[in-house]
A and B are shown apart, each in its own frame.
Chain A
Amino acid sequence: MGKIWTRGRKVLVATAAVGALVALAGCSGSSGGTDSSGKANLTQFYHQYGEDGVKDAVTKWAADYKDANIDVQWVTGDYNKKVTALLLAGKGIDIFENNQIDVQSARQGKYADLTDIVKPIADKMSPISLKPVTIDGKYYGVPMITDPQLFLYRKSMFTAAGITTPPTTWDEFVADVKKLTTSEHKGLFFGNDGGAGLLGYNGAAAAGTGVLNDDNTKVTFNSPALASAVNDLKGLYSGGNLLTGAATDWWDPTSFIAGDAAITWQGLWAVPAIEKALGDDVGAFAFPAIGSSGTQEVGVSQWNMQVAASSSNVAAATAVVKAQWIDDTAWQQKFAVDFGFHIPPLTATADATTKLQTGLPKDIVGLTTKYGYSAGPFWTPAMGTALTDAVTNAVTNGADATSELSKASSTVQGLLDELNQK
């Protein structure tokens, strides 16, 4: 009997070993090592851009790059989770774009430190673009594109409602949204959730507090001004002034183009499609100032190119990032305006991008320079969820705005303290 068990156990152990090897082999792509001519084999990860042609363009750039073999991975679905999993596994990933640089991962050494290539050109980049890549004084990514988000409106609908200039204060804005609501269209498309996901973050900036203080130690979004704005939004939601239940959410311009709402929250990326459909009937304005100490705001999100510290070719990968997103300004201009519109973080490149220097894009770039806001990497997705939950509870569930914001504030402070423990 003993002999049989030994054999059985041997088979089990062998099975487990084979299985583990198969699983590991399945995880790795063509990353790692070099080819016969000594060129590094690299993988480069992109999320799925909504506009046609982006995939072909990035693949072509990679194929044209002479100093390494770049295998472009175009990820559909949940991009951030896929990248996180690969970074945790520590293999199969060399270069990747990221719009959520994670403080913990940076401190744990999962990202290669790119300070050496970013520092020399840091003063040539728009200041707001460096905030998301800066952790503990080091640069962990090269900003690729800056994506401003703000309000776009239909000029003809404003005229029909007797509104001559776009609102600059929250109170004017709320009054205008009510005036703009007719039997034909709603006043505002602020996301299918009634704006809960957008008001907290952008509203905190517009109330003058921002979500975190400058040294990322205190949560600052909880203010009477923001609570009052949340209550106003609750009124707009229950009053039927908001477009909800649209087939796609705010980042897709379909509903706005169809004329379902007079004002929409939107990103610069959608401007080509909107201008193509609506011509010059579209204008832009920043998130209006909330309360007496408020300021107008343009939300800025950003994609950054990073290198995995676990890459077996960190130097070659860093060289690719530098060549593509620092040196090749022609490519950066092409990427910024040939598909959806984005702002190149290098200011000289942005200035030289002619399509961003006229009409509506020019207005948006100007507003972004003046009012752009980014909370930076210490504002994590978990914190965003806590704030959004508070606003959701107040707007759609009838909870008290002040107490919801206060609860969320202490939750987020807890998360921030945990983050700052190390």
Chain B
Amino acid sequence: MTSRSTEAVAQAQSLGRRAPRTSPSPAPRKRPVKGARFAFWWMVLPFVAGITVFGLIAIVWSVYLSFFDARSTLTPTVFVGLANYVRLISDPSFLQSMATFAVFAILIVPTTLAFALALAMLVNNLPFAQAFFRSVFFLPTAFSYVIASVIWKLGLFSGQGSGVANSMLGLFGIDPISTWVTQSPLYWIVIVSMRLWLQVGFYMLLFLAGLQRIPAMLYEAAALDGLSRGPRRFWSITWPQLRPTVAAVILLLTIAAFQAFDEFYNLVPTIPAARPPLLYLYNVSFAQLDYGKGAAGALILTAIMVIVALLQNRFLGFNAADDAKPRRQRKKA
């Protein structure tokens, strides 16, 4: 950060919340431009049409289906009340899928968080070619999960001796492994490494933005006090300052893990212990053709995600680090 921008930051900090804000009162009313309303609707029309047809109608229909016996039909007539919900919650496969999600989340969330933060700090400290490395690490985000699955399954973790992982093991005199995608816990290595590669760049960008928001003067002040590098500087300054970013990243990673489907579907479709909730629901709806139970499941999953997001916001809070006061006190103030 240049000294000029440091000054600007310092100035902003000193002004803090006492600085006069831009007035929220509306600008003086002008006469609307003729045809503006028509133009407005014309421009939002595609969006509204899309969200109505593919969003609202689908959601309402799902709610409707979830209360009916909708096996092999989308226009059911037999009302069954909460039976679909009861059948779903008492289905051991559903509970197994939640357990699978828990295992996956425990593996992928901290791993991605650590790698993304480490990469962001490395890239942030680069003296040159920062944009280049940022792009390089971000590129996999644009990659297809399905194609990555094929590469991971047939190239990197192929069961044959020629696979990349097996060749590496061979260098250490270890026999090739043929059960990368059939044996627990081997398949977790395949699944987690693939998702890590695909998503780490995106979260690195979030952390980079977070790192660049940390005022340089904090580090300068710490340096004056004799703390210029090392883990203590990280834990005392960088980590607390990144708290909102960390909270956001954890939430986004958890939601993404909850929505995992592609790699499980393509890499380990036959393993019951590796069938996350969405894959379970997909099977219920499209293999068993039980749309009522599938719809009930979709709504339950949505409810779980909303609750998780609310709890996370309550306890970690996106803006918590902006304020030294605890959230509750701040509300009262």
Contacts and interface: CB of A to CB of B under 8 A. Distances in A.
Interface of A: 4, 7-8, 11-12, 15-16, 18-20, 22-23, 81, 84, 88, 102, 104-105, 108, 110, 192-194, 196-197, 243-247, 380-382, 385, 388-389, 392-393, 396-397, 407, 411, 415, 418
Interface stretch (B99-107, B178-186, B213-221, B321-329): B178-186
Top 3 closest A-B pairs, CB basis? A245-B159, A19-B49, A245-B178
Contacts of A197: 270
A81 B286 contact: yes
Contacts of B50: 19
B181 A245 contact: yes
Contact of B52 (A4, A16, A192): A16
Nearest to A386: B93
B186 to A, nearest CB: 10
Given A102-B72, A245-B178, A382 B287 contact: yes
Contacts of A81: 286
Contact of B179 (A4, A102, A244, A392): A244
Contact of A247 (B74, B158, B287): B158
A421 to B, nearest CB: 9
Contact of A11 (B45, B180, B182): B45
Contact of A245 (B45, B57, B179, B287): B179
Contacts of B143: none
A363 B163 CA distance: 38
B288 A19 contact: no
Contact of B182 (A4, A244, A407): A244
A389 B286 CA distance: 18
A381 B54 CA distance: 28
Contacts, number: 99
Contacts of B12: none
Contacts of B54: 23
A403 to B, nearest CB: 13
A104 B291 CA distance: 13
B53 A104 contact: no
Contacts of B71: 104, 418
B212 interface: no
Contact of B53 (A7, A20, A102, A392): A20
Interface in B27-69: 37, 41, 45, 48-50, 52-54, 57
A104 B289 contact: yes
Given A393-B272, A396-B183, 9 more contacts: A11-B45, A15-B52, A88-B73, A193-B270, A245-B163, A245-B177, A245-B179, A380-B288, A396-B271
A392 B74 CA distance: 33
B73 A108 contact: yes
B250 interface: no
Nearest to B73: A108
Contacts of B319: none
12 contacts: A11-B41, A11-B45, A18-B49, A22-B53, A104-B71, A245-B160, A245-B180, A245-B181, A246-B159, A382-B287, A382-B288, A397-B273
A244 B178 contact: yes
A274 B159 CA distance: 23
Contacts of B37: 4, 7
Contacts of A22: 49, 53
A7 B163 CA distance: 63
A295 B180 CA distance: 35
B301 interface: no
A110 B73 CA distance: 10
B236 interface: no
A15 B160 contact: no
Given A23-B53, A245-B181, A246-B160, A392 B272 contact: yes
Contacts of B41: 8, 11
Contacts of B154: 247
Contacts of A23: 53-54
B283 interface: yes
Contacts of B92: 407, 411
Interface residues of B, number: 38
B83 to A, nearest CB: 11
Given A20-B53, A246-B159, A247-B160, A396 B182 contact: yes
A194 B179 CA distance: 9
B45 A15 contact: yes
B53 A381 contact: no
Contacts of B288: 380-382, 415
Given A15-B49, A397-B273, A102 B289 contact: yes
A196 B48 contact: no
A382 B290 CA distance: 10
Contacts of B270: 193, 196-197, 388, 392
A7 B36 CA distance: 13
B45 A389 contact: no
A244 B287 CA distance: 26
A7 B37 CA distance: 10
Contacts of B93: 389
A420 to B, nearest CB: 13
Contacts of A192: 159, 181-182
A202 to B, nearest CB: 16
Contact of A12 (B48, B73, B289): B48
A388 B235 CA distance: 50
A415 B293 CA distance: 13
Contacts of A244: 159, 178-179, 182
B161 to A, nearest CB: 10
A21 to B, nearest CB: 10
Given A192-B159, A245-B181, A385 B74 contact: no
Contacts of B160: 245-247
Nearest to B275: A389
A110 B45 CA distance: 36
A19 B73 contact: no
Nearest to A12: B48
Contacts of B286: 81, 84
Contact of A15 (B48, B73, B74, B184): B48
Contacts of A20: 53, 57
B65 to A, nearest CB: 12
Contacts of A392: 270-272
Interface string B114-158: 000000000000000000000000000000000000000010001
Contacts of A194: 179, 182
Contacts of B178: 243-245
Given A18-B49, A396-B182, A385 B273 contact: no
B72 A108 contact: yes
Nearest to B74: A88
